[in-house]
Amino acid sequence: MKKLIILLLPIAILALSPFETPESTSFDLSVFNTKKSEFNIKAADNQKIKCRYVCDKKVYKEQRIADAILFYKKSTK
């Protein structure tokens, strides 16, 4: 038991504490700072635009799935 403690002591000394936070590197967050123009605010409040955006995403996803299925059907023949 003493040998185990002696072997693990350097690891325990050099190990980081789980409560320490790693140094944060500076990230460029200017990409996420979008300007809210009057047009963008109106578009965000418009239900038709929101619905169209969601529907387009669903159609695109379904089309990608259909393309993948056709690809694998062709490759098995």
User: What are the domain boundaries of the chain?
Assistant: 43-77
* Identity of residue 72: Y
Report how far residue 62's alpha carbon sits from residue 70's, in angstroms, rounded to the nearest whole number. 12
| Residue-averaged pLDDT of the chain | 76
Report how far residue 29's alpha carbon sits from residue 26's, in angstroms, rounded to the nearest whole number. 9
Q: Any residues with CB less than 8 A from the CB of 43 and at least 6 apart, and which?
A: 49
Question: What's the pTM value of the predicted model, to 2 decimals?
Answer: 0.36
Segment 28-57 mean pLDDT:
76
Place of tokens 């490759």: 75
Examine the pLDDT at 25 and tell me if it is beyond 70.
no
Examine the pLDDT at 17 and tell me if it is beyond 80.
no
